[in-house]
Amino acid sequence: GENVEQHPSTLSVQEGDSAVIKCTYSDSASNYFPWYKQELGKRPQLIIDIRSNVGEKKDQRIAVTLNKTAKHFSLHITETQPEDSAVYFCAAGGAGSYQLTFGKGTKLSVIP
Amino acid sequence: GAGVSQSPSNKVTEKGKDVELRCDPISGHTALYWYRQSLGQGLEFLIYFQGNSAPDKSGLPSDRFSAERTGGSVSTLTIQRTQQEDSAVYLCASSLIGDNEQFFGPGTRLTVL
């Protein structure tokens, strides 16, 4: 089955700096890669996703890049703000089913 | 519209007792997923329901765990003879058929004393 590795597990950045979180996956048939944000005590919420037919997708301050050859994808957050502080999860799926395999999460702290 | 709901929000039980956790998916969503999230950990897949197909139970950690989905809507996750290591947040998610995007409920925090 699919295996997703996520790094780093924790990340601290100064407000205004950029943050990058990286994930690798094992199943070359996976074609859907979402990122979820989970604030403390809240439910995970989708913030951006990318499908395998594109290499990059951007939505305001967040962007995701995908390298299918290397089987890795990354989340980029620019001009970080304190409200970006949360745990971010990557996931991979779509290989013949709608199941998602999640990474273990990255706790992002944005220091004012 | 209404999102995914779960009940109870918190459950404290004694070791050895059975518990039932409920999930109400978004209306019209045919796919339903259960995950377990231990403290500071990622999302561990438990079980997946898709329409009238047989559920994928490959993530259930032991035979003490079972789940049902009645009428293609509400789902119940049952844990029998609870153990302390079962303490976690149990999250439910649903999605539309043909769509990978999953919408999560608020979770049930289970504490086994």
Give per-residue pLDDT as tens, A32-81. Answer: 999 999 999 899 999 999 988 889 999 999 999 999 999 999 999 999 99
Q: Which residues pair with B93 in a beta bridge?
A: B33, B104
Residue B98 has a pLDDT of 73
- Interface contact B54, partner A, CB < 8 A: no
Separate counts of helices (H) and strands (E) for chain A: 0, 11
- Quote the CA–CA distance of A99 and B102 in Å, as a whole number: 9
- Give B83→chain A minimum CA distance, Å: 23
Q: What is the mean pLDDT of residues A3-22?
A: 97
- Give A44→chain B minimum CA distance, Å: 6
Q: Check pLDDT > 80 for residue B32.
A: yes
Residue B37's pLDDT band (cuts 50, 70, 90): very high
Q: Check pLDDT > 70 for residue B1.
A: no
| Greatest C-alpha distance within chain A | 44
Residue A41 has a pLDDT of 87
Q: What is the mean pLDDT of residues A18-29?
A: 96
- Quote the CA–CA distance of B113 and B110 in Å, as a whole number: 10
Sequence letter at residue B86: D
Residue B7's pLDDT band (cuts 50, 70, 90): very high
Q: Which of B102, B103, B108, B109 to mutate to test the interface with A (most CBs of A within 10 A)?
A: B102
